[in-house]
Structure 1
Amino acid sequence: MKHQLATLAIMLAAVAPAGVASATLVDDFSGGVTAVNHPNPGAFGVWYDITTDAFASVAANSGGMQIDDGGFTNGIYAIYEAVVPADGLYTLSADMTIFEDAANSNGIRAYQLGVAVNGSHRLPGTYPSDIQDLATLSIVGNYAGTLDSGDNSSNPTETVVTPVFSASAGDNLLIAFSTDLDTGGFDGNSGTWGSSYVLVDNLTLTAVPETTPALAFCVAGLGMIVAGRMRRPRNRD
């Protein structure tokens, strides 16, 4: 039994993913924030209103990027060029803090981070012009705190993480923030913001190690050895 387990341990070490999941910092906003609101989009690394009938503003803040909005239809997006380092599976995360105006404590009732691999800018010269890439995808992470009961400024900072998605080396990432990304309407969960704002920081792309067929085979083999050992009758002599 010991010999079998030792052999299997060597096999597992040979095929298991090396090290921990690697992370790539996409943006920590320490170099400032570039934003162009209603002019037609087209540049990389620039934050735009997510639709022509949204009216957001962003600015650098000591804690990251501050997002202000009048409310109702809302949201911003930017496309980061060639930020995916290698083919594989990834998650995107951001540290998120939500500050609610005491007089408009239900202005922000949810907040989301979304990503579209090789997403496109909204179409120029049309009204309204929305981002369609996010309306058909489920790569959306949600702030998990309670935002519908007048929390005001007591909401904790959370690291919001998207579901796992596939990307290839050199891919662009369209990254978006809004109260309503997963319906494509960009107007749900939002009322009058007043002085409410959202602070985001540390946009991070994290590689998710894949389980290889060989690793799965070794794990199954370990289970069979242990199960067989447990079923073996004891010698009562």
Structure 2
Amino acid sequence: MGDCNQVGAVRATGMLDAGRTQIWVTDVTAGATAVKVYANEVLVGTNNAPTSPMTAVTVTPLVEGQTIKATQVNRLEGCMPSAGHRVMAAGIIDDFQDDIATGNTMPVIGSPAERTWYDVADNAYSEALQREYPTGGSRWLCLADHGWTNGIYAVYDAIIPPDVTPGSQYHLTMDMILDERGAVDTDFWGYSGAPFEIGVVVNGAHRPIGTLLSAISPAGTYPGKMTPQQDGCDIEPSVMAYSVTLTVNPGDSLLIAFASTCSTYTISKSASPASYPGMLIDNIKLNVGPKPCLPQDVPVVGIAAASASMPLQAGATEVQVTGIDSTASQVSVYEYTPDPDTWTLIGTATSLGGASSALVTLTQPLVAHRVIVATQTMTVCDPPEVMEGEKPTLGPVVGTGKNSPLLLSLGVREVAVPEGGCVIGTDGGTTGGIEWIGPSSTVSGAPQGKLLNPSTEWQTVTFDPASDPVLSFNAGNGVLDGVCNVFEHLALVSTATNTGAYTVLIDNVKSGTTVVEDFESYLAGDAAMFNTPNYSGTTSANL
């Protein structure tokens, strides 16, 4: 009598979904004379002539919810495994209803496991979690993130079934929805116009310890709303996202990655507040054929003011569309209103001539507080198809054309004693923490300083470090503890949903009773004392 433990264990792997009639069994040893597959421990298929470590077995059609196990015969049959794989709905690679495997960091000893979610880098600010959505409902994979280096990935071994024709085209779909955890930055997942991405690599390799996962390009994108300053899980349904088209062969594995961008796995941004927003993912599905051509395949375009003399304000009759592809045949400008989503066409341009920007004359003047968005139409996909891009829900807000109240804060840099001492008017350098005087709090990073109402009269605004609140802006501590405090900037924050234009006149800048600048020596139009608002990258997110 032999002991079944003397026979090496094998495992069913790859696609184990409803209706499947051929599956892979791996870890088959040389000399095995049969491989057997069981559904709920009832024999459903046998291969009596296995020839390789990964063997295809024909089975009776699998039924969703069954538990699939496998054994091999080598003089005697191996032991029935204690655990197996659950059969998922037809076409589903992973529905995340079982406890997800999260390695996060790479193992120091041994090899990375399949179907286990790892960080894309040792120092990634990401975490693979599991969350019910809605509460008490289905379980989803959740990529929790805090920005900078970010992203997770997993490898699904032998996920392409045995009966696939070599060289076939497939694509993945998945349900996705943002999980911002409250009022997260407006553009956290859509930083610099780059939507969240889905990367897939046929037979992709795990990253070695201490390295970044190899770049994946092209990549699919999340097509849902960014839902700024609110939790998308509370107000939006999930959306279907697509991978790029994949060319596969039987037995191929798939490396699947999710990140803000799969080309660099980084965004120069932290979530604010530090609540680790998430992206929920469910029902990763393998679909026959190339990815369908979609509006998301068309690159996004932007909206800008027509000119300095015609800003994006009420009454303007022209706007500039930017970021146009050289092959685009048309750009379209829309006025967007939510609840329900409505896009009203207010202008088009067709004679583009390959230019990257175009001036569009509108069919009606802009209206204050309305959101303006644009699309381009071009030929995309293979086979080629003329497609208009997806209509955005985020865009610039039309200003009223006149000033609204502003909040004013003074930014000071804390420095050691410069060579010439703390002399008013001397250059204080560019090193040292920066504090704000005036605000006691911020909203989405914008300081809530002293109120300045529009007026036809001059107003004196005084910042007193002895009595005004002090708040850290950059590398500060909320206390003025530098030997010298240098006038670094003025922070102006709108109090209303008005994008301008704003006109602010500044004169007689003083430190105590000493006049620092009265601007009398400058000619009209000269740059004086201040740099432009976009001079510093640390403030770009709030412009």
Per the normalisation by structure 2, the TM-score is 0.31
Question: Residue 118 in 1 paired to residue 203 in 2?
Answer: yes
Task: Quote the sequence identity (%).
Answer: 28
Alpha carbons of structure 1 residues 173 and 156: separation in structure 2 relative to 1, 3 Å? same
The 8 Å contact of residues 114 and 162 in structure 1, kept in 2 or not, is answered as yes
Question: Residue 144 in 1 paired to residue 223 in 2?
Answer: yes
1:151 Cα deviation from its structure 2 partner: 4.9
Instruction: Point out the structure with the larger strand share.
Output: 2
Aligned to 1:17: none
CA distance in 1, matches of 2:180, 2:103: 25
Amino acid of the structure 2 residue aligned with 1:180: T
1:51 Cα deviation from its structure 2 partner: 1.4
RMSD, matched Cα: 2.1
Which has more radius of gyration? 2
The 8 Å contact of residues 200 and 244 in structure 2, kept in 1 or not, is answered as no
Which of 99, 103, 126 does residue 32 from structure 1 map onto?
99
The 8 Å contact of residues 184 and 228 in structure 2, kept in 1 or not, is answered as no
- Point out the more displaced range, 194-203 or 38-47: 38-47
CA distance in 2, matches of 1:93, 1:71: 25
Aligned to 1:162: 243
Q: What are the Cα deviations for residues 167-217 of structure 1, in whole angstroms up to 9, with x where unaligned?
A: 101000000001111xx21113853162421110000111118xxxxxxxx
**Which SS does the other structure have where 1:104 is aligned?**
coil
1:155 Cα deviation from its structure 2 partner: 4.1
**Which SS does the other structure have where 2:99 is aligned?**
coil
Q: What are the Cα deviations for residues 9-45 of structure 1, in whole angstroms up to 9, with x where unaligned?
A: xxxxxxxxxxxxxx62110011120001123362111
Alpha carbons of structure 1 residues 26 and 32: separation in structure 2 relative to 1, 3 Å? same
CA distance in 2, matches of 1:147, 1:189: 18
Aligned to 1:68: 144
Runs (5+) with no aligned partner, structure 1: 1-22, 210-237
The 8 Å contact of residues 120 and 133 in structure 1, kept in 2 or not, is answered as no
Aligned residue-pair number: 179
CA distance in 1, matches of 2:158, 2:204: 12
CA distance in 2, matches of 1:96, 1:189: 23
Q: Map 1:43-192 onto structure 2 (within 5 A).
A: 43-62=113-132, 63=138, 64-85=140-161, 86=164, 87=166, 88-106=168-186, 107-109=188-190, 110-124=195-209, 126=210, 129-132=211-214, 134=216, 137-138=217-218, 140-147=219-226, 149-153=228-232, 154-181=235-262, 184-188=263-267, 191-192=270-271
Q: What are the Cα deviations for residues 113-149 of structure 1, in whole angstroms up to 9, with x where unaligned?
A: 110000000012x3xx111152xx31x2111233274
The 8 Å contact of residues 72 and 191 in structure 1, kept in 2 or not, is answered as yes
Amino acid of the structure 2 residue aligned with 1:78: A
**Which SS does the other structure have where 2:148 is aligned?**
coil
Instruction: Point out the structure with the larger helix share.
Output: 1
Structure scoring higher RCO (CA < 8 A, sep ≥ 6) equals 1
Amino acid of the structure 2 residue aligned with 1:171: D
CA distance in 1, matches of 2:224, 2:94: 24
Aligned to 1:42: 112
CA distance in 1, matches of 2:227, 2:237: 14
CA distance in 2, matches of 1:133, 1:197: 21
The 8 Å contact of residues 183 and 229 in structure 2, kept in 1 or not, is answered as no
CA distance in 1, matches of 2:202, 2:153: 13
The 8 Å contact of residues 104 and 128 in structure 2, kept in 1 or not, is answered as no
Aligned to 1:223: none
